[in-house]
Structure 1
Amino acid sequence: MLALSHIDSYYGASHILHDLSVEARGREILAVLGRNGVGKTTLLKTIMGLTDRCTGTLVLDAKDFSTAATFERARAGIGYVPQGRQIIPDFTIRENILMGGFAAANGGGRIPDTVAELFPYLMDNLDRPGGVLSGGQQQQLAIARALAMEPSILLMDEPTEGIQPNIVEQIEQTIVRLNKEFELTIILVEQNVRFAREAADSFVMMENGRVVEADAIDGLTDAIIAKHMTI
């Protein structure tokens, strides 16, 4: 279980998250919803220790990681698939995946069996540069890189954004498999309400750096969506 309590997070002098408390239960999917610019990405970066300053507490499996460095959080089992994928285009598929393994508790050095099972295309093309892949294939590569960390919790920032429609369903199915079959806890920033309702166990809705709604996914009503996500 990952629990954040009374978190305030900053980029320089900009105060982005305000007294935020969130709990992700083990082996469940928590959907993080809200309009653009409300702090969803900052929440994931705060969990990874990637903002300039943060106060409050972050507890993973009863251990306090509030002051832990990013690499310590990664080695404790927190993986991250950032918005925009951020693969290295001049690195091969193999090199991109193995790069994620440097953050693994065991030091990495190998491509996990999970990657081979989920992404056969990547395994058949390990020597291709990452930059020649389609957007959907690059998203698969970003997920594979995170899996090389051998995480127990996976943070995913809008994983279907900018993906061709025929690949979106594959990415969605992969996320569900990672949770149901491979028992990863997933914190999923997502604008696709349909997918959030289908895949998630619970949700939080954010506004202006604060959690304004939190419930089991059955509590994600049309009224809440209209209030907090309709432009």
Structure 2
Amino acid sequence: MLSLSNVDSFYGRSQALHDMTVTAPKGEILAILGRNGVGKTTLLRTILGLTDRSEGVISLDGEEISARPTHERARAGIAYVPQGRMIIPDFTIRDNILMGGFAAGGPRRIPDIVPELFPYLMDNLDRPGGVLSGGQQQQLAIARALACKPAVLLMDEPTEGIQPNIVEQIEEIIIRLNRELGLTILLVEQNVTFARRAAGSFVMVEHGTAVETGRIDLLSDDMVAKHMAI
């Protein structure tokens, strides 16, 4: 579905990814694991063309997208739920969601699944996004990404900084998006227990490259301790 082959990525003169090769199987969750600062977020940003430059091959459904600008990659079916959510606080909930539709082109509308997944958002469409709690803002960021009509969803630590009673809800929503909508999801996650429960495969990142990859049942405790323990 989505693959990177020998990809290097740069911020200015600083190289952040080194010879990154990884494949996200169609219709699965790929867990992207590793310590903080090893290049996991840069991997997602590189897929969308949000670093200063990159080299190597990025392919979506067998078609190379490496040279395409960000808006064309989004229109091809890649959506992003960034770390920190990045909603626009002065926009209403409705406008934040509809903003995601600009990437897809055509009429902008709230996706049919949003009322089922996020009833609170639908009951408060005219409230500013900035008054929402962290967990509610994360729901809003996911709803905005769904308005892009994606086939691939990039999610950067979606449970980070969220109150504990909401974390489980977000985790279940991620699993539903994959299993019920068939979305391919690249999930940057620190919670190994959740990654093992949700994902079909994994990539372990260290120093900007993939040091371990495989099916999720091959993710051993020794591997986690080696590459994720502080």
Cα RMSD over matched residues? 0.6
Structure-2 residue corresponding to 1:139? 138
Mean Cα deviation higher: 167-176 or 109-118: 109-118
- Which structure 1 residue ranges, 5 or more long, are not aligned? none
Structure-2 residue corresponding to 1:151? 150
1:184-222 deviation line (CA, Å, top 9, x unaligned): 000000000010000000000010001000010000000
Q: Aligned partners of 1:112, 1:145: CA distance in 2, in Å?
A: 9
User: What is the aligned-residue identity percentage?
Assistant: 72
Indicate whether 1:26 and 2:26 are aligned: yes
C-alpha deviation, 1:107, in angstroms: 2.4
Q: Aligned partners of 2:22, 2:187: CA distance in 1, in Å?
A: 13
Q: One-letter code of the match for 1:198? A: R
Change (3 A) 1:108 1:156: farther
Q: One-letter code of the match for 2:120? A: Y
1:37-186 to structure 2, matched below 5 A, reads: 37-104=37-104, 106-186=105-185
1:136-176 deviation line (CA, Å, top 9, x unaligned): 00000000000000000000000000000000000000000
1:79–1:146 CA contact under 8 A, matched in 2: yes
Aligned residues: 230
Q: Aligned partners of 1:61, 1:15: CA distance in 2, in Å?
A: 27
1:98–1:108 CA contact under 8 A, matched in 2: no
C-alpha deviation, 1:227, in angstroms: 0.2
C-alpha deviation, 1:115, in angstroms: 1.2
C-alpha deviation, 1:108, in angstroms: 3.9
1:177-216 to structure 2, matched below 5 A, reads: 177-216=176-215
Q: One-letter code of the match for 2:182? A: E
Q: Aligned partners of 1:48, 1:172: CA distance in 2, in Å?
A: 23
Per the normalisation by structure 1, the TM-score is 0.99
- Which structure 2 residue ranges, 5 or more long, are not aligned? none
Structure-1 residue corresponding to 2:220? 221
Secondary structure at the aligned position of 1:46 is classed as helix
C-alpha deviation, 1:116, in angstroms: 1.7
Q: Aligned partners of 1:221, 1:227: CA distance in 2, in Å?
A: 10
Q: Aligned partners of 1:107, 1:34: CA distance in 2, in Å?
A: 38
